[in-house]
Homo-oligomer: A and B are copies of this chain.
Amino acid sequence: MTAFVNQQLLLASRPAGEPTPTNFRLVETPVPELGDGQVLVRHHYLSLDPYMRGRMNDGKSYAAPQALDQVMIGGTVGEVVVSKNPAFLAGDKVVGWGGWQQYSIVDAAPAAAGALQTVDASRIPLSAYLGVVGMPGVTAWYGLIKIIGPQAGETVVVSAASGAVGGVVGQLAKARGARAVGLAGGPDKCHYVVEELGFDACIDYKQHPDLKSLSAALKEACPNGIDGYFENVGGMILDAVMFRANAFSRIAMCGMISGYNGQPIPMLAPQLILVNRMKVEGFIVSEHMELWSEALRELGGLVATGKLKYRETVADGLASAPEAFIGLLKGRNFGKQLVKLI
């Protein structure tokens, strides 16, 4: 055993509907000795992301379910504290898939799924590697660039616009000459989306409880209709967007958080896909690893030069992760949701 003690959060039970704190269990485990080639990482930040809700279920999905009584999966950034691998030195800043715990031991073989990557934290804050310069940023980049493919003068709409993914979608769309319109919950988030992130407009969906009202708001914000939609939410917002979609519009299906707890979320008028010759495409960013370096190069450059803005909501300490995650699913976060571990 090493001298280190590791706090860990395990999946204790699968949620029926909304997750509750009792679905998680906090334990303390001594950190074992490292074997040859292994690296001990102390996590500075844990990333909380909507996709984790899907993993808590046992049903068929694109990824294996999170196993019960195991450490919850998740992206982490941190620092190498002990290395028995020549590719890493103590003190290296690293990004990886350490999970909901304070420390992780990584078999740092290059091809390992949880492979660790050294990052440069001198020009980009370490936490950004979990957000705009990490998985959420690449998600935004892939869906916008590779599926929507916005042209100058087109209108791109994104739901959850103040979030880690949505904020990047709109800023990249603007950089390509498109009109960017966000949907977010509440006046503070909408103000931020327009004033800080530079979107052309943002609709507070909480002010529009029915389809008719939301459609009218979209009509006003998108006078030339909608050419691209980046979907993080699903449900009524998707329907309202489809009723304003232009011919040859494209929808990148990235998330459907409104259905993550098992509610049915039918699409009201799929015939619009035909009438408007739309393309609707789902994607999982981890299946397009060949494009990550291109995406991260653009995103990292924009962050380092201050051109790509973002915001973080930081919960303090591992024990706060379950409540922060539940809040994320309810839209209580503002920007990228992180848990600070040191």
Contacts and interface: CB of A to CB of B under 8 A. Distances in A.
Contact of A275 (B62, B266, B277, B279): B62
Contact of A234 (B231, B266, B270, B282): B270
A306 B273 CA distance: 35
* Chain copies in the assembled complex: 2
Interface residues of A, number: 33
Interface stretch (A14-22, A114-122, A251-259): A251-259
B282 A273 contact: yes
Contact of A62 (B62, B253, B270, B276): B276
A308 interface: no
Interface residues of chain A: helix, strand, loop or mixed (majority): loop
Interface string A267-283: 11111011111111111
A238 interface: yes
A274 B256 contact: yes
Given A62-B247, A266-B268, A271-B256, A280 B277 contact: no
Contacts of A273: 253, 280-282
A61 B282 CA distance: 25
Which of A238, A254, A274, A287 has most chain B Cβ within 10 Å? A274
Given A279-B280, A279-B281, A254 B268 contact: no
B234 A277 contact: no
Interface string A204-225: 0000000000000000000000
Interface of A: 60-62, 231, 234, 238, 247, 253-256, 259, 264-271, 273-284, 287
29 contacts: A62-B247, A62-B277, A231-B274, A234-B270, A234-B271, A253-B270, A253-B273, A255-B274, A256-B270, A256-B271, A256-B274, A266-B266, A266-B268, A266-B269, A267-B270, A270-B270, A273-B280, A273-B282, A274-B282, A274-B283, A276-B282, A277-B281, A277-B282, A277-B283, A277-B287, A278-B281, A279-B280, A279-B282, A280-B281
